[in-house]
Structures are given as structure tokens and as C-alpha cells.
Amino acid sequence: MRPVAIVGIGRTKFGAFPDRDLRSLGIEASQKCLEDAGVKPEQVEAFYLGNFAGPSFVGQNHLAPYIAGGVGITGVPTTRFEAACASGGSSFFHAFSGVAAGLYDVVLVTGVEKMTSQPTPKVAEILAGAGDVSGEGKAGATFAALFAMIARRHMHQYGTTHEQMAMVAVKNHSNAAKNPYAHMRKVITLEQALAGKLIAEPLTIYDCSLISDGAASVLLVPLERASEFAGKPVRVAGIAQTSDFFSLDQREDITSFAAVTNAAEKAYKAAGVTAKDIQFAELHDCFTIAEIMATEDLGFVKKGEGGPYVQQGCTLLGGPRPVNPSGGLKAKGHPVGATGVAQICEVTEQIRGAAGERQVRNHDIGLAQNIGGSGATAVVTVLCAV
């Protein structure tokens, strides 16, 4: 396996765009990425698309060539990957594998989702398809309900408080206010977060990520060729994708995602690092409890210490290990298929030292963690400066 580098990134703004379609979003992010890398469409040797539910959200199938052709990429393999909310991370993992194995030298990865074309109840129904439809879904459990159960169990076992979860929301909204690509650039107070409309006890609307439209892209090449491209290179030091049992009742402990711990162990080993070496991270905060759990599953703190870790300010932008400097899914937005790729874009921009107002102090080694469903799929990526 040969070393791989990211030499281009591109994103659209995340938000609700009634005048935009899925294809235009995917094309915009892809074109920005190619421009960043100084690459023409005809130089791309393979195109990987992360998309969860384009057929359900917008009624369009066969999405990979649909978007690639709009960019001007033809005559090469174009493949769509679906892994629920980890669709973007999974597409990046497989694109990395193709370059590392020597199958391709120039690969474009784009993640995209157009969610706001459907009313909120329909969006919830579509998203529920990423869970156990015949079991949990048949019983009426939405993802908010599932993560509410996870949160309640974490509170019972470890003393985690709703105030600590609310602090995740406050932090991420503050970070998103500094991010020009974020869906909700709105600072909130702890009092607001705690008093939010109840969605699934104990989770309020401020504990839940956003329904968003958006796209993100990255360009991968062999590290040995990185100097040929315009974008400042960032090395993919380690990456792993793993899975777990699908529904919560099959797992021994719902306060930990085994897929995340397994993926982290493999990614750390490949990168030759440990959890303590990670300076900042983009974590999958689909719900605030998920960010707290991720800090534990990734080894940043011991199990049960994620709540106090937030409360002590350790994950703030100016803290010892910033988490979600982009604003996270919570405030940057969560266009499902784009999320994993957007995380890679943010970590890359931070390592490049080009994140502007939200730039973290120490930025040589960063991590992205992307999960699908209620943790049945996980992708963990370690990026580092070249």
C-alpha cells in the first residue's frame, strides 16, 4: 500500500436551498475541489460519490454518473456508496483504498444530500430507513428516540447530565458562527439549550443535528505525486471502516459504539499514533450525546468521563483538544451523504492552517469520525501535515 495525500478540497455552503437541486450542489463542490487542486475533469481517473437517500429525497437514481457527467468527468468508473450517515466517510475510505492499492492516481470523492425538498415528517421517515425498520422502526422508534435511550442510559451509568450535553450544543453553535459554510451561524446560551423544545426526553431540539442541503469534495493522489498539484497536501496517515450489530438490542452496552472503538484502533495503528497524539477532531455529533460518547470511544478520555471533559472546557476551540471546530453536524449542518467528506475538508483546512477565525492552535494531526445509523457503521480517519 502506498502513501496517499489530499491535494484538493471543495464545499458548498450547508443550509436549506429551495432553489438548488442535488446535482448542482454536487457539481459546485466538485468543481471547487478540482480548482483547488489545479486539476481538469479529464485528469480524474475515478469518481466516488457518498449519498444516502437521493432516490427517496429527490426521486433520482444512478447518481454517480449523473453528477460526474455534470462536472465533465466521463469514461472512468463512477460509483455511489451508501452507508447511512457514514456514506461520505465510506466513499472516502474506498477511494483511499483505490489510490493506496495503485489502481488509480487521481480520484475525486464527493458527498452530497438534498434533504429539504421533503417535509420534516417525511425526512424522519426516510432517515429511519437507516435503522432497523422491521424491529425498532416498527415499534415507532426514530433516531431521536434511539439516541434518547442511549443518552438516558449514559446518564444512568456515568452521571452524565443534560447540562453537559447542552454545553456541546453551545460550543458547536459558537464554532459554527465562525464558519462561512455553516447552516446555522447562531450563537446560543446554555439557558437556551436547556430550555429548548423537547424532542425525545432528555433530548431537546438543541441536542439534535440539522436537516440540511449541501455537498463536499476532496481529491486524492499518491503522496509521491502531491507536489504536482496546486493544493497544499495533507497526508492520510490512517483510516479504517468497521461495522457492528445493526440494532441496539443486539449490543452488550449501548453507551459505547464498538464499530468506533474498532475503527479507531485500526486507524491509530496504521498512522503510528495513539489517541493522545490527536490534537483536534471532527466528530459525528448527530445528537449531543454522540459527541460525548465519541470522545470516550476514541480514547480521548476514559469511559464515562466525556461529560466532565466537555464541562471542563477541554473541547473548546481554544481548549487542549478542540472538537468540531466547524460547528459539527449540530450547527454546521448534516446533509447526510456529504457529512463524512465535509469532515475531511475541515480537518484538511485546519492542518493547512487556513481555517481563519476558527483555526485551532495545534493542527499537525487531526481526526474525523463518521458513523452510520446508530453506530452500525463507523469510519475513523487520521490526517497529518506533510
Q: Which residues are catalytic?
A: 85, 334
Contacts (Cβ under 8 Å, ≥6 apart) of 2: 99, 100, 102, 222, 223, 224
What are the φ/ψ torsions at residue 272 (nearest 5 degrees)? 70, 35
Integer Cα distance of 27 and 17 in angstroms: 15
Order the strands of the 213-222 sheet from edge to edge: 78-81, 46-50, 107-114, 213-222, 4-11, 234-243, 377-385, 365-372, 280-282
How far apart (Å, rounded) are the C-alpha atoms in residues 48 and 386? 24
Alpha-carbon gap, residue 184 to 332, rounded angstroms: 6
Task: Judge whether 78 and 119 are in contact, CB under 8 Å.
Answer: no
Lookup: cell for 180: 462561512
Q: Interhelix angle for 87-100 vs 336-352, to 10°?
A: 60
